[in-house]
């Protein structure tokens, strides 16, 4: 058990943005809201998974929508008490703690704000170990946890409760509600006992994000080492490419951001070209026509100097970035995990190969 | 107080289709379901508005969606108990009776099926006195009744509860949920006390529909009178045009049917042309370029021989129809009524003029 104070928020936001793999929302707005919430209500208690009593009722809280919308349409403050009150009414029991639904810039901050304002603890875990576009693409679904009741609140004051026949239907209906509400909403869903949670989450997400954030923040001041080498060694990230963004195709459609970014190599990658495709999150990366990574592994674009992650809604012509990868949680490499979040779920006509294996093949060649 | 038995259903379905003004759903599927429900559970008790105790909780039940979808996607049977159970859970009280939300082929039958299966009485009233495409276009909204909680169930088993900030938002979010669920759902909403209901409905809808249905059914056997003359005199409908459908434009978009039908005159109307526009319901009619009726007045197309109403999803090239009109309930002619359901709500760039006045102008000219 520890607390999340003002001094922890920046690193958590920064590191979560890396785990967000281009998605999970820009941390800017979420960070401001979390700082305001902790300033007003004090630090948030962070419980490790094993510290949560088995009979507690816990549930993940997050923002859902197109990240590009969240840049302009923030929360109102009424969403958190509204979704919590509705969840407790539907369950006829009090909620004991919040979880993170995913690791992402905005969605690491929403649970901190909600926990601070509600005076509830936060569990050091999430349902993805990264960010994914689909509501049902989480380890809760993988472990048979229903989203019911899926509670949605928008900043206008509308509140919806969904009981669906399966989590795919939650995505279908929930996405339409998100679109009707203006493209960005707050959700609280998938309530579960502490016991069920322990076998259904990716553990230690907040700690891991904070560690990655610290690495990013301190890389530029690394002693006796090139910042890039320090960042890669400390984070364990795999380097794919360094380049300048020369083309961005982007479309906000059906409640998602879809697109593709093309990079021309700089430095040691001069003369080469990379392409990264995304659906909210980066889902595919190739260098000179060769696949270097696909979902569910993490594909991250970071500023080439500061290593600050660049979310897909912030991709801009001329920006210099490093394309790196991190292996996903082992849960995503199982048959069920790949069915729910593998390349074919995203419409990519390729089989999944872990990034370590793809790298080994390149070294062999 | 009376009962609705098997012998009443056909006339109610037929007459409601006329009141449906082209919308409210084709009665075919709804009629079969109502017959099955009454056969299995016995007649439905029909209470007049004044017979309902003030402290009762009553609510309108109906199908929402694009009528053309309802031709192919029926209800499953699980929707009625599901929406009722959810409504009672949200209110924490039992429902005492159902209301009709609108007068329409399908939506006159849904409440009979639901009431029979639930063993609850039905109130002889509805919220429109006709059918309208918008969820919020009813006399409940006009009288300040919130749709909250707006409960939706689809035939797959998904159930949603909406608490919105106003009834316009119910339409916006509810429509998206309808689309996500395949274009046709069952809803139970706008719960109110018996006392509030008494000042918020169009009274006597079931009786009126049944009377109109009887007129349609018996017109062809009228003694000593042309069937058309009998139908018009008995129903009080105003005759606009008799013609053959020569063109139908139809589009299912945003959960609605939009379209336009062009008719070329036959009989005494030979050489003339009429155009009728619709959004689920008929909303505008002109003859030789002159407006003869607009919403909220009722514009109905009926078979030229049998006077059976033709709903907008059943408009077909070559069909011979009579275009007739009926004045709407006075509630719709008020400022609030016209704001909620007048021609401009539907994007028509005309001011509302009652059909009686439009007719008088034509006689004067």
pLDDT attached to residue A4: 98
HSE-CB for B19 with a 13 A CA cutoff: 34
Nearest Cβ partner of B158 from A156, A163, A179? Answer: A163
- Interface mutation target, options B153, B173, B178, chain A, most CBs of A under 10 Å: B173
CB A9 within 8 A of CB A105: no
> CA quadruple A20, A24, A29, A31: dihedral positive or negative?
negative
- In angstroms, what separates the C-alpha of A188 from chain B's closest C-alpha? 15
pLDDT attached to residue B130: 96
> Residue A235 CA to chain centroid, in angstroms?
17
Tokens of A347: 């419409």
- Interface mutation target, options B149, B163, B183, chain A, most CBs of A under 10 Å: B163
CB A329 within 8 A of CB A202: yes
CB A296 within 8 A of CB A102: no
Nearest Cβ partner of A177 from B86, B156, B176? Answer: B176
Mean pLDDT, residues B4-29 = 93
Tokens of B349: 């760039």
pLDDT attached to residue A112: 97
pLDDT attached to residue B68: 65
B145 pLDDT band, cuts 50/70/90, is very high
pLDDT attached to residue B224: 87
Alpha-carbon distance values, B1 to B101, B115, B190, B208, B210 (Å): 20, 15, 24, 15, 15
| Residue contact B173–A181, C-beta within 8 A | yes
pLDDT attached to residue A145: 98
The whole-angstrom separation of Cα A215 and Cα B74 is: 58
> Residue B58 CA to chain centroid, in angstroms?
19
Mean pLDDT, residues B319-332 = 97
Residue with tokens 């939009």: B258
CB A15 within 8 A of CB A210: yes
Query: A76 touching B, CB under 8 A?
Result: no
Percent of chain B with pLDDT over 70: 98
In this predicted structure, the answer to whether residue B39 has a pLDDT above a threshold of 90 is yes
Sequence-ordered list of residues with C-beta below 8 angstroms from that of A346, at least 6 positions apart, any chain? A279, A283, A284, A295
User: DSSP letters along B67-133, please?
Assistant: HHHHTT----SSHHHHHHHHHHHHHTS---EEEESS-SHHHHHHHHHHHHHHT--EESEESSSS--S
Q: Which residues of B touch A163 (CB under 8 A)?
A: 86, 158-160
Domains of chain A with bracketed CATH: 2-205 (3.40.1610.10), 234-364 (2.40.390)
Mean pLDDT, residues B332-354 = 97
pLDDT attached to residue A49: 98
ipTM: 0.87
Q: Which residues of A touch B179 (CB under 8 A)?
A: 176
Query: Which DSSP helix (H) or strand (E) runs through A249?
Result: strand A238-253
User: DSSP letters along A18-54, please?
Assistant: HHTTT-S--HHHHHHHHHHHHHHH-PEEEE-GGGS-T
Q: What does the angle CA B16 – CA B22 – CA B24 come to, to the nearest 5 degrees?
A: 55
Q: Which residue of A has its CA nearest to B183?
A: A173
The whole-angstrom separation of Cα B77 and Cα B33 is: 9
CB A121 within 8 A of CB A115: yes
The whole-angstrom separation of Cα B276 and Cα B278 is: 7
> Residue B347 CA to chain centroid, in angstroms?
20
Q: Which residues of A touch B181 (CB under 8 A)?
A: 173
Taking alpha carbons only, the member of A226, A211, A24 closest to residue A128 is A24
Nearest Cβ partner of B157 from A161, A165, A176? Answer: A165
Express each pLDDT in B49-80 by its tens digit: 999 999 999 999 999 887 666 667 778 789 99
Nearest Cβ partner of B173 from A86, A163, A177? Answer: A177
pLDDT attached to residue A365: 64
pLDDT attached to residue B122: 98
B365 pLDDT band, cuts 50/70/90, is low
B218 pLDDT band, cuts 50/70/90, is very high
DSSP for residue B22? T
Q: Which residues of A touch B162 (CB under 8 A)?
A: 158-160
| Residue contact A165–B158, C-beta within 8 A | yes
> CA quadruple B24, B27, B29, B33: dihedral positive or negative?
positive
DSSP for residue A257? E
The whole-angstrom separation of Cα B238 and Cα A37 is: 65
pLDDT attached to residue A87: 98
Q: Which residues of A touch B175 (CB under 8 A)?
A: 180
In this predicted structure, the answer to whether residue B337 has a pLDDT above a threshold of 90 is yes
The whole-angstrom separation of Cα A288 and Cα B80 is: 58
pLDDT tens-digit profile, chain A (365 residues):
899 999 999 999 999 999 999 988 888 889 999 999 999 999 999 999 999 999 999 999 999 987 666 667 778 789 999 999 999 999 999 999 999 999 998 999 999 999 999 999 999 999 999 999 999 999 999 999 999 999 999 999 999 999 999 999 999 999 999 999 988 899 999 999 999 999 999 999 999 999 999 999 999 888 889 999 999 999 999 999 999 999 999 888 877 789 999 999 999 999 999 999 999 899 999 999 999 999 999 999 999 999 999 998 889 999 999 999 999 999 999 999 999 999 999 999 999 999 999 999 987 76
Q: Which residue of A has its CA nearest to B92?
A: A89
Tokens of B147: 């749709």
- How many other C-beta atoms lie within 10 A of the C-beta of residue B356? 12
- How many other C-beta atoms lie within 10 A of the C-beta of residue B15? 29
B101 pLDDT band, cuts 50/70/90, is very high
Alpha-carbon distance values, B145 to A139, B65, B129, B139, B201 (Å): 42, 22, 17, 9, 11
């Amino acid at each position: 058990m520890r607390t999340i104070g003002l001094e922890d928020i920046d690193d958590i936001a920064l590191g979560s943005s890396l785990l967000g793999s281009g998605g999970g929302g820009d941390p800017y707005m979420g960070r401001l809201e979390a700082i305001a919430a902790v300033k007003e209500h004090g630090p948030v208690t962070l419980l490790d998974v094993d510290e949560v009593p088995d009979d507690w009722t816990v549930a993940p809280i997050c923002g859902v929508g197109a990240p590009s919308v969240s840049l302009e349409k923030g929360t109102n403050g009424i969403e958190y008490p509204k979704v919590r009150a509705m969840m407790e009414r539907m369950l006829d029991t009090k909620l004991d703690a919040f979880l993170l639904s995913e690791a992402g810039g905005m969605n690491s901050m929403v649970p901190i704000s909600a926990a601070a304002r509600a005076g509830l603890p936060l569990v050091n875990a999430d349902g993805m170990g990264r960010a994914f576009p689909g509501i049902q693409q989480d380890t809760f679904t993988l472990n048979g946890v229903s989203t019911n009741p899926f509670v949605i609140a928008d900043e206008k004051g509308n509140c919806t409760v969904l009981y669906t026949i399966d989590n795919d239907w939650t995505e279908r209906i929930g996405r339409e509600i998100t679109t009707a509400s203006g493209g960005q909403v707050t959700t609280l869903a998938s309530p579960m006992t502490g016991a069920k949670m322990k076998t259904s989450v990716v553990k230690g997400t907040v700690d891991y994000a904070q560690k990655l954030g610290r690495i990013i923040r301190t890389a530029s001041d690394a002693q006796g080492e090139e910042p890039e080498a320090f960042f890669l060694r400390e984070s364990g990230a795999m380097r794919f490419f360094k380049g300048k963004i020369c083309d961005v195709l982007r479309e906000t459609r059906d409640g998602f951001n879809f697109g593709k970014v093309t990079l021309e190599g700089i430095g040691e990658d001069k003369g080469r070209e990379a392409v990264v495709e995304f659906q909210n999150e980066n889902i595919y990366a190739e260098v000179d026509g060769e696949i270097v990574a696909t979902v569910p592994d993490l594909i991250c674009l970071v500023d080439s100097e500061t290593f600050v992650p660049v979310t897909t809604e912030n991709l801009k012509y001329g920006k210099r970035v490093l394309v790196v990868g991190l292996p996903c949680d082992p849960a995503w490499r199982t048959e069920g995990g790949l069915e729910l979040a593998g390349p074919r779920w995203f419409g990519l006509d390729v089989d999944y190969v872990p990034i370590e294996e793809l790298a080994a093949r390149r070294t062999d060649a």
